Structure 1
Amino acid sequence: MSESGTIRLALVDDHKMLLGALSEWIRSAADDIELVCAVTSYPELLSHPAFPVDVALMDVDLKDGMPLAVRLAQMKPTGVKVVLMSSYSEPPRVREALASGALGYVPKSEDASMIVKAIRAASRGESYISAELDLAISSSDIGGSPKLSAQERRVMALYGGGEPVKTVAYELGISEETAKSYLKRIREKYRVAGFDVGTKVALRKRAIEDGILLQTD
């Protein structure tokens, strides 16, 4: 975020018509968001003079042959927060995006004002998906797995992926105590559902089985 408190935003979408329309809408949507980059490909984003930005609003389906997890992994060390948008909102796809490092997921069918909420949340290091999408993900859990919130899934993905509590807290912009309380709540939910995730290894295994963490993470 700039010294003035403005969120510097990059927009990446390979549909030029949508890119143009969305660019115009974002420029007039909020005074605290400055669109500094609008490009049609991921390489263009990386080479843009305004990069790194605060938040990148990126289409999931850029059709460049690069796995989403790879793009998100490359973005992580730059400090850029990523919000994804897509025409699809299947729970497994959303879970993969959040587990891979995205802080927000916005279906293109949703009201455009949701984009602003997701951008602002990401700039603070917070996860954001709509209540409807969160409910769809939770209700689709299989095998009797408990219903976790978007933030709980993010904590579980980071911690199960090998990060210490201190790093989980830093990544999500929360205190260590808050991160620990999330882990305690996650473990309690799984305990009630009949699953023991008391150890980090058990929690990681469960996160993979429930699609919260990718096998390769």
Structure 2
Amino acid sequence: MKHPQIEIVIADDHTIVRQGLRKLLEEEECLKITGEAMDGREAIQIVQKLKPDIVIMDIAMPILNGIEAARQIKQSELKTKVIILSMHDHTRYIRELLSIGVSGYLLKNAASGDIIKAIHAVIKGESYLSPTISNRVIEDYVGMNKKTSQDELYNTLTNREREVFQMMVEGYPTKEIAETLCLSPSTVKSHRSNIMEKLKMDNISKLIQYAIQLGIIDIQI
């Protein structure tokens, strides 16, 4: 009896990464790639439309990063499991994503076999972490899992404010933010003011520095 295929969506802003991952996964008869996304916002839309079993996402994506995309997917009623595939092993990323409820976290230098193992583990309801990530988790708990004041301020932002925040620090003008998020320009301006107030910032330069410190944007992008 043939088992149903595991349906997967891939989200990464680099075409070559998506193509390589698709080729790798499609070599497995039990896996089926049903969609691809280039940023976090598109990933959410595709997951909502296709309802895959698993979405494999990068963290550093434009418009909406993988952390916030994962948060919104897990907050929804969707049963889609989230696996993070990233080059970053920053403690803040790991802590935040595990608290959100992602099922797997692998580094991009992981062996191809590890990615397949992660998919099968996650589909069975288990979690899968790269060895390096597991060590980071242990170190974090040994360190009392303390949150910084930076984390606390950022956590006061709503999901919508986080979307606006990322687009602001990526340099998008108010009009384009409004069009992308289906908001009015006045609503975006209101969000900008609230963000500045909550984060205790008075100019965009400080916001950009803050976003880099938190890892919301990557200076290598």
The alignment's TM-score, normalised by the length of structure 2, stands at 0.58
CA distance in 1, matches of 2:132, 2:43: 30
Letter in structure 2 aligned against 1:79: K
Residue number in structure 2 paired with 1:33: 31
CA distance in 1, matches of 2:138, 2:63: 30
Letter in structure 1 aligned against 2:9: A
Letter in structure 2 aligned against 1:11: I
CA contact (8 A) 2:7 2:54 kept: yes
CA contact (8 A) 1:142 1:210 kept: no
- Structure 1 residue 125 displacement after superposition: 2.2
CA distance in 2, matches of 1:48, 1:26: 19
Residue number in structure 2 paired with 1:58: 57
Residue number in structure 1 paired with 2:123: 123
Q: 1:44 aligns with which of 25, 42, 54?
A: 42
2:22 paired with 1:23? yes
Distance 1:7 1:133, change over 3 A: same
Say what the alpha-carbon RMSD is for the aligned residues: 2.7
Distance 1:47 1:133, change over 3 A: closer
Letter in structure 2 aligned against 1:16: T
Letter in structure 2 aligned against 1:71: A
**Structure 2: 5+ residue runs without aligned partners?**
157-221
CA distance in 1, matches of 2:115, 2:24: 11
CA contact (8 A) 1:23 1:38 kept: no
1:78 aligns to what SS in structure 2? Answer: coil
The equivalences for 1:5-154 within 5 A come to: 5-28=4-27, 30-48=28-46, 51-66=50-65, 68=67, 70-76=68-74, 77-143=77-143, 145=144
Distance 1:9 1:67, change over 3 A: closer
The alignment's TM-score, normalised by the length of structure 1, stands at 0.59
Residue number in structure 2 paired with 1:192: none
Letter in structure 1 aligned against 2:50: F
CA distance in 2, matches of 1:111, 1:67: 21
CA distance in 1, matches of 2:65, 2:40: 9
Letter in structure 1 aligned against 2:59: V
Letter in structure 2 aligned against 1:18: V
2:62 aligns to what SS in structure 1? Answer: coil
2:56 aligns to what SS in structure 1? Answer: strand
CA distance in 2, matches of 1:46, 1:96: 18
Paired residues in the alignment total 148
- Structure 1 residue 20 displacement after superposition: 1.1
